[in-house]
Structure 1
Amino acid sequence: MILIYEYMANGTLAEHLYKINKGNGHYLTWEQRLNICIGAANGLNYLHTNTEQSVIHRDVKTTNILLDKNWAAKISDFGLSKMDSTSHTQSHVSTDVKGMFGYLDPEYFLTRRLTKKSDAYTFGVVLFEVLCAKLPVDISVEEEQRSLALWAQHCIKKGTVDQIIDPSLRGQISPYCLKMFTDFANKCLHNHPKGRPTIAEVVGSLEGMLASQGNIPRRKGIITKMFLIISNVVAKGFDLRWRMGKGLGSKSGQPWQVQRDPFAVGAIQLYRHLSLEEIRAATNNFHKRLIGHGAYTVVHRGRMGNLDVAIKRWKEGAYEWNLEQIRSEIQVQSQLRHLHIVSFIGYYNDKYEVILVYQYMVNGSLYDYLYETDKDPLPWEKPLEICIGVARGLQYLNAGTKQAFIHCNLKPTNILLDENLRT
């Protein structure tokens, strides 16, 4: 039997991490590496969620990530792949242990229970390979450094991870991005599968890291790259700040107002600094419906005055090292007033956490209507109207504000719909 595949002009990711000194590789910049990781993660996410029966790859490694002529990453080698036959009563596939040492999920190795989170573990090893350009297992070094996964985790605990990154990357990675990357890769290596992110969460986090690289200070004239998270969406949002006054006034009777705030650096912002009591009341002490979650946040539905709101709360421990990202989100959204941009209501912060409040979009995302089977199909004119609304929102961001913004993360999950299915 002979199998024929698309030819990948730039070979494997491993070649460009390990064979540089032999003249067989190409030095990859940090931005190139992030884009390759995002491409590979998107491929895995497709296997896990977008096929008729989801697939667990079981052999994710840098030699199985191929690069085309444009350096786009593609997953290869499905010889060890397993169809995911899990159900509500069984959360794993029982199978003989296969894969390469250095990448193997320890839970799978010990119990023979294979899950999609096994791919998340192996991808965590790949992330550290990309950062460090070190083999997953190297018997030529000191014993404590032979396992890349264990050595990287040790360095994270000791605060010395900056000493093991690939020397060719020095000066290319912002401290904030390095912190995000290593913490998230470490989370992929969690001993228990439930402690690991899904591959979809990996994609979202890597995209945020790539966007954060654009926030490194540069010469004046470079367009600001912001909108780092899902809630910075192109979506329906009447300018509630101008018309809600009494309905969302604070307990002291203060209406919406222009005010200075620790998060507002060098600019006047329009928003409300909410109290924790107001947010607890809106969510019944965070017991109201949980409507979403990400790697670092959970989102609750709540009600303030006559308005349904979406309340995004940063998870414990995620606030401090995401501070610049949160600051960007608040500063950008609080300046935007447009029919097709989600309305930023306000926020609460203290030394332990930050909570952001937005208008709630009752019909969810465009993605739901395109891919979820329990939704009625949209008539043709409705998607066209949605696209027009999105285009108008983007036009406003790019050309209708005092400082132009690039969204950086436009996709169906970030296009929200109101009660009338308008963006």
Structure 2
Amino acid sequence: MIPAATLIADEHKLYSLAAERSCRRFSLAEIQSATLNFDDQLVIGKGGFGKVYKAYLHGNTGTPALVAIKRLDSFSSQGPNEFMTEIEMLSKFRHCNLVSLIGYCSDGDEKILVYEYMPNGTIEHHLHKARTPLSWMDRLKISIGAARGLDYLHTGVDTQHGVIHRDVKSSNILLDENWAAKISDFGLSKIGPTDQPSSCVSTLVKGTFGYLDPEYSMTGHLTRKSDVYAFGVVLFELLSGRRAVDRSFDEDEWGLVKWAQQRVKERRLDQIVCSQISGQISPKCLKEFAQIADRCLRSSRRDRPTMAEVVVALQLSMVLQQQFITSTQLAGAMGFTNIMQKYLVFRTSRDNEHSVDFEQSMSQEVRIYSYSEMEVATRNFSSEMLLGSGDFGEVFRGWLDKKTYKPSKLDSGLAVAVRRLFSNKFEPHKLKMKVLEEFKDANVVKVLGYCIEGDSVLIVYEFMHQGTLKNYLFSSEGRTERHELITRVKIALGVGRGLVFLRTQAQLADCSLQMHNILLDKEFNAKFSDFDVVMLAPTKDFHPSSSYDLEVKIDVFGFGVILLQLLTGKMIDDSGDLIGTTHRLPGEYGFVSMQSIYSSLDDRLRLNFLMRRPAFQLALLAQKCVVEELWLRPTLESALEEVEEIYAIMLKSENSTGN
């Protein structure tokens, strides 16, 4: 048993600790000003502890931030000890599935905590009050996020002690703007050693009826398995939509635990499923999910899983559900195309701003041109039309008639890029031009036609008005321009979608990321170039250059590096490091601060208040992609999904402000 004296430190020591962890101490005057002297119109929550207010405050970055201010009632159950405990807990730990503590105020009887604002409220609100139509996939993601947060607490990352939350419940799991779950309210938490799995803390029984571990209630011995029990209740809440205790039912069905356990025992799992998600769940996923929830509620602690085991089981449930969705879609009329639509043909209102020229070109078949026609289009391959040269040949600007796609004598109509391949790189009679007709994707530069005459090989592409990503970020002309973060995220989205296509559809063995091979159209949609030429007829000694290991670094690490370049505006050298710094942003993975990220951003970026959070999220994703531990890196598909979510939020924010 840990002595109570070691659990609650001296107040000044705690405040000093909080200061070291970038936790700011606010004055009472600052809090009163932000809350309009605790105006009830700003109240967004109430509890036994007091009230929570929504307000704007200046944090360590100096920029006003939307926050949640918890003012403890002097008569609340959360006294000075609980107040200091919460400061200690949240100052010590940093995790994407824990609510971040921004600061606090201690002034006489006033005890106030300032948190990051969670715009989507609590799980409890959505399940039992708003009746929000959360899909089964939404609920799975929420459960996995919350489980990861609890596992982080229990395993004591970067500390010798783990934390027992002691009040896990649906009202203490909050949802941010991306609907990511975050554990909150650490006022009742206790510290315990992590090297003793069965260690316990003897304490007065505290918690919430309906979630309390029966063994803890009877003995007063608190362990991490008490949190596991409470989390099992939350899992059945998500599955059933029922409260932990609901007296609107018959007396023998008031408690969710007893009701759900009986149905698991009788193998009547379908009866547990909420009507809102009925028909959405795979039978295998339902079985796995219900089994892990049931195991969490075992009467004996030794029979309950650890939170790490819960995370694994929930991830398996997600895999089973995704497999079910995939198989269902494959059986439909749309087939595989429908599955890849999210990645390859995803459209938002902003994406629909593609130029009409490009939309027309996408609908055309690959045409065969004569050499003389290409001479007309490029003004006889004049130096004035030369755009550049590379490994495969020279590229010229040319013009086609928009309607007929015939070469135009005027410098108007449809602009195209004409690549004249070097004869020593390709043998015309061996070229498999059929590949060009099949190599189609919205994030690969569109092939409009080709010409093969004698030793001459020419390929006609859509024209990319914004040039290469390398020039966009690093050219001397671009150094004075102001850039929008949303444009950079849109570019990242195109790069990710293109990579998914190249790997899954085109099945290229080498998708090495080169900044000069990523081109940008009028609307800054990113598109890959050159990969189609590699597929035509590479010579035996030809190997595309690459700075990164093929299987491990190019897909995920390489994507992470692209994200870092987009955020910082710094170039990569041959070793894969950002010139002038390391490839990591300041701070270790999982502990990087928002302030350190903002100080590293490209100073050309326009970054209003609404865009600061997405920048932070994108930076954290980049960090995950470039970590040395391979198993910690996300898959390319999950990284792309996260960028899509960030972009959608930015579009919504932009539209809401009328920009």
Q: 1:191-340, aligned counterparts within 5 Å?
A: 191-216=299-324, 217=327, 218-219=329-330, 220-221=335-336, 222=339
Q: 1:90 to 1:13 in 2, by over 3 A?
A: closer
Deviation at 1:87, TM superposition (A): 5.7
C-alpha displacement at 1:164, in angstroms?
A: 2.6
Q: Distance in 2 between matches of 1:118 and 1:191?
A: 11
Contact 1:40 1:74 in 2 (8 A): yes
- For residues 208 and 231 of structure 2, the distance between their equivalents in structure 1, rounded to whole angstroms, comes to 13
Cα contact 1:41–1:199 (8 A) shared by 2: yes
SS at match of 1:214: helix
- Tell whether 2:247 aligns with 1:139: yes
Q: The residue matched to 2:114 in structure 1 has which SS?
A: coil
Q: Which moved more, 1:88-97 or 1:49-58?
A: 88-97
> Which amino acid in 2 is paired with 1:17?
L
Change (3 A) 1:10 1:90: closer
Q: Distance in 2 between matches of 1:387 and 1:46?
A: 31
Aligned equivalents of 1:89, 1:206: Cα separation in 2 = 22
Gaps of 5+ in 1: 224-337, 339-384, 396-408, 417-423
Does residue 110 in structure 1 map to residue 272 in structure 2? Answer: no
Contact 2:548–2:554 at 8 Å: present in 1 too? Answer: no
Instruction: Quote the RMSD (CA, aligned, Å).
Output: 3.1
Q: Name the counterpart of 2:276.
A: 168
Name the amino acid aligned to 1:390: V
Alignment-mate amino acid for residue 151 of structure 2: N
Q: Secondary structure at the match of 1:55?
A: strand
Q: 1:389, CA displacement in angstroms?
A: 5.3
Whether contact under 8 Å (2:154, 2:194) holds in the other structure is: no
1:171–1:90 CA distance, 2 compared to 1 (3 A)? closer
Residue of structure 1 in register with 2:292 after alignment: 184
Residue from 218, 226, 229 that aligns with 1:121: 229
| Alpha-carbon distance, 1:167 to partner | 0.2
Tell me the amino acid that sits aligned with residue 126 of structure 2: H
Checking the alignment, whether the CA contact within 8 Å between 1:48 and 1:54 is kept in structure 2 is yes
Q: How many residues align?
A: 243
Alpha-carbon contact 1:86-1:93 (below 8 Å) kept: no
Task: Mark the CA change 1:180 to 1:386 in structure 2 (over 3 Å): closer, same or farther.
Answer: farther
Contact 1:85 1:93 in 2 (8 A): no
Q: For 1:39 and 1:415, locate their aligned partners in 2 and report how far apart those are by CA, in whole Å.
A: 15
Q: CA deviation at 1:391?
A: 3.0
Q: Which residue of 2 aligns with 1:7?
A: 117
> Residue 8 of structure 1 contacts residue 68 of structure 1 at CA under 8 Å; is this kept in 2?
yes
Instruction: Report the equivalent of 1:44.
Output: 150
Contact residue 45 and residue 200 of structure 1 kept, 8 A: yes
Q: Does 1:33 align with 2:139?
A: yes
Structure-2 separation of matches of 1:392 and 1:114:
47
Distance in 2 between the 1:139 and 1:199 partners? 30
Residue deviations 1:141-168 (CA, integer Å, cap 9, x gap): 1122111011100011112221131100
CA distance in 1, matches of 2:223, 2:241: 27
Shift of 1:211: 1.7
> What letter corresponds to residue 552 of structure 2 in structure 1?
V
CA distance in 1, matches of 2:141, 2:198: 35
Which letter does structure 2 place at the counterpart of 1:32? D
Deviation at 1:388, TM superposition (A): 6.1
In the alignment, structure 1 residue 55 sits paired with structure 2 residue 217: no
Is the 8 Å Cα contact of residues 282 and 321 (structure 2) preserved in structure 1?
A: yes
Which amino acid in 1 is paired with 2:250? E
Cα gap change, 1:414 to 1:96, in 2 (>3 Å): same
Percent identity between matched residues is 49
1:387–1:104 Cα change, 3 Å = farther
Alignment partners' CA distance in 1, 2:153 and 2:123: 20
Letter in structure 2 aligned against 1:188: C
Are 2:203 and 1:95 equivalent residues in the alignment?
A: yes
Give the conservation status (yes or no) of the 8 Å contact 1:64–1:77.
Answer: yes
Q: How far 1:204 sits from its partner (Å)?
A: 1.4
Shift in Å, 1:90: 6.9
| 1:175 Cα deviation after fit | 0.6
Work out whether 1:68 is the aligned partner of 2:176.
yes
After superposition, the C-alpha distances for 1:15-48 in whole angstroms (9 at most, x for unaligned) are: 110113xxxx521111011101111111111111
Which amino acid in the other structure matches residue 13 of structure 1? I
The counterpart of 2:552, out of the listed 390, 413, 418, is 390
**Aligned partner letter, 2:174:** L
CA shift for structure 1 position 140: 2.1
| Secondary structure of residue in 1 paired with 2:174 | strand
Q: Is the 8 A contact 1:86 1:92 kept in 2?
A: no
Shift of 1:191: 1.1
Opposite residue 11 of structure 1, the aligned amino acid is G
Query: 3-state SS of the aligned residue for 1:149?
Result: helix
The correspondence for 1:150, drawn from 258, 275, 285, is: 258
Residue of structure 1 equivalent to 2:127: 17
Contact 1:390–1:415 (CA under 8 A) maintained in structure 2:
no
Tell me, yes or no, if the aligned pair for 2:232 and 2:293 is still in contact at 8 Å: yes
- Match 2:188 to one of 61, 64, 80: 80
Give the secondary-structure state (helix, strand or coil) at the position aligned to 2:309.
helix
Alpha carbons of 1:135 and 1:413: their partners in 2 closer, same or farther (altered >3 Å)? farther
Task: Give unmatched runs, 5+ long, in structure 2.
Answer: 1-110, 341-508, 510-546, 558-623, 634-659
For 2:59, the equivalent position in structure 1 comes to: none
Q: Distance in 2 between matches of 1:90 and 1:127?
A: 23
- The question of whether the paired residues in 2 share the 8 Å contact of 1:177 and 1:209 is answered with yes
- Secondary structure of the 2:237 match is helix
- For the 8 Å contact 2:192–2:199, the answer to whether it is kept is no
Structure 1 residues 147 and 132 mapped into 2: Cα distance closer, same or farther (>3 Å)? same
- State the alpha-carbon separation in 2 of the partners of residues 153 and 184 from structure 1: 12
Task: Label 1:205 to 1:88 Cα distance change in 2 as closer, same or farther (>3 A).
Answer: closer
Larger Rg: 2
Higher relative contact order, structure no. (Cα contacts within 8 Å, ≥ 6 residues apart): 1
Distance 1:413 1:184, change over 3 A: farther
Do 2:201 and 2:221's aligned partners in 1 also have CA atoms closer than 8 Å?
Answer: yes
